[in-house]
């Protein structure tokens, strides 16, 4: 009999594949909207920046509700917001409308995907947590690989309005069908983490864990918030601006969209390879490697001109991005335990993730001012180096260490 935890991983994979594939198709619609309405890149980038802020902040209530209600109801409710908002984008005619539909309503829906899925997988696994989170979250990366080119084909054949209608209907149908498979934790089904018949002593600390209020009184909580804020400020820049950046280099719309697919392929590798490796190497070491690789990728974008170098930089960034995002829920589970993972992951995601709103907006503004993304890429590389420096000071809270020794 297959341990039900792997079904939870598969369901989380499907939810994240669909939601993140739709999210990172924004770059495809970005060019279509620019061509039709002639808005500035900064003003249109602001839509995604508001979206990034909103879906990060909504991760906090989504995490609390996941702890209280379980993930299925939270994700099903979010499907209505996300699918409905994407379909509503087909009616856009003025700039304030994408700010409302995408920046606010879609953000509320997306906030119910990342935190509930990842915090639920954290609850189901302890010894194989890195592998499980890596497999589940690779759905988001595979969606980033698959959906942008398909979306570009839909835009070409149906127009961007028709493509938004199809995308919204697909997101709603898939998320509502998959959500019931996500069960809150193994204990609710009379099981134990990792499918063990008897819970090992090492897992007992994770099963009890710290409450959100206790976690927030630790130095570790705020250091982790600073680490992820630094690395996430620029994280959406390639995901939003890679298509227009590739178009600036003279590549066709479909080729530009495939650059996002290459990024997604790299992220799949990063999540699977480094997620599994983190179970052996440790979460801090793996996370540090990911952030250094992300810094290198941003530096590589500054010298990318031909298609091979652009693909290489996108692949490297994707691998690093996949590594960092996989380690986030896993390291939170390691440091603070399983029982209140939804609340703690959600609160850290709200604090640090909302900083990602600034990246696309600032990148668009620097492009409008200088005609280049070079300055934005260099600042992004520097922020990841800062994040590595902060990470060196992170250790599990003493209270958890003391409990483990008891």
| DSSP assignment of 17-80 | HHHHHHHTTHHHHHHHHHHHH---HHHHHHHHHHHHHHHHHTHHHHHHHHHHH-HHHHHHHHHH
pLDDT tens column, 55-73: 888 888 988 888 888 899 9
pLDDT tens column, 353-372: 888 888 888 898 898 899 99
Contact 100, 47 (CB under 8 A): no
Percentage, residues of the chain above pLDDT 90: 44
pLDDT tens column, 107-140: 999 988 888 998 899 888 888 888 898 899 888 8
Domains of the chain listed by start with CATH number? 4-405 (1.20.1250.20)
Is the per-residue pLDDT at 286 higher than 70? yes
> Across all residues in the chain, what is the average pLDDT?
87
Q: What are the residues whose beta carbons fall under 8 Å from the beta carbon of 353, sequence distance 6 or more?
A: 52, 55, 56, 57, 59, 228, 232
User: Within 10 Å of residue 392's Cβ, how many Cβ atoms?
Assistant: 11
Task: For 331-370, give one letter per residue: b (16+ CB within 10 A) or e.
Answer: bbbbbbbbbbbbbbbbbbbbbbbbbbbbbbbbbbbbbeee
pLDDT tens column, 215-227: 999 999 999 999 9
**pTM, to two decimals:** 0.76
3-class secondary structure for 107-161? HHHHHHHHHHHHHHHHHHCCCCHHHHHHHHHHHHHHHHHHHHHHHHHHHHHHHHH
The Cα 140–Cα 344 span in angstroms is 21
């Amino acid at each position: 009999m297959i341990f039900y935890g792997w079904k939870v991983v598969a369901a989380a994979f499907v939810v994240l594949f669909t939601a993140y594939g739709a999210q990172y198709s924004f770059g495809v619609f970005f060019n279509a909207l620019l061509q039709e309405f002639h808005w500035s890149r900064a003003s249109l980038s602001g839509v995604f920046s508001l979206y990034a802020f909103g879906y990060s902040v909504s991760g906090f209530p989504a995490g609390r509700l996941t702890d209280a209600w379980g993930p299925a109801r939270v994700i099903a409710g979010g499907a209505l917001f996300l699918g409905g908002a994407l379909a509503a984008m087909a009616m856009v005619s003025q700039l304030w409308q994408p700010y409302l539909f995408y920046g606010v309503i879609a953000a509320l829906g997306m906030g119910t995907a990342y935190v509930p899925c990842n915090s639920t997988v954290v609850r189901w696994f302890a010894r194989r947590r890195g592998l499980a989170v890596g497999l589940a979250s690779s759905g988001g990366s595979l969606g980033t690989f698959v959906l942008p080119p398909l979306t570009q084909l839909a835009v070409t054949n149906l127009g961007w309005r028709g493509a938004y209608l199809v995308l919204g209907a697909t997101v709603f149908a898939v998320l509502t069908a998959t959500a019931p498979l996500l069960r809150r934790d193994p204990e609710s089904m009379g099981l134990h983490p990792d499918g063990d018949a008897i819970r090992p002593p090492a897992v007992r600390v994770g099963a009890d864990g710290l409450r959100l209020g206790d976690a927030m009184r630790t130095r570790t909580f705020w250091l982790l918030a600073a680490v992820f804020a630094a690395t996430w400020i620029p994280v959406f820049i390639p995901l939003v601006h890679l298509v227009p950046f590739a178009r600036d280099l003279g590549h066709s719309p479909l080729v530009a969209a495939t650059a996002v697919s290459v990024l997604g392929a790299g992220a799949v590798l990063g999540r699977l390879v480094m997620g599994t490796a983190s179970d052996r190497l440790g979460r801090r070491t793996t996370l540090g490697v990911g952030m250094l690789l992300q810094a290198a990728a941003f530096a590589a974008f500054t010298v990318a001109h031909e298609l091979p170098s652009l693909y290489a930089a996108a692949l490297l960034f994707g691998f690093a991005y996949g590594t960092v995002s996989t380690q986030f829920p896993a390291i939170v589970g390691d440091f603070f335990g399983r029982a209140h993972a939804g609340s703690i992951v959600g609160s850290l995601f709200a604090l640090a993730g909302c900083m990602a709103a600034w990246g696309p907006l600032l990148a668009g503004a620097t492009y409008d001012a200088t005609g280049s993304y070079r300055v934005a890429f260099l600042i992004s590389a520097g922020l990841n180096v800062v994040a590595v420096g902060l990470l060196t000071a992170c250790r599990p809270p003493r209270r958890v260490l003391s409990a483990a020794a008891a």
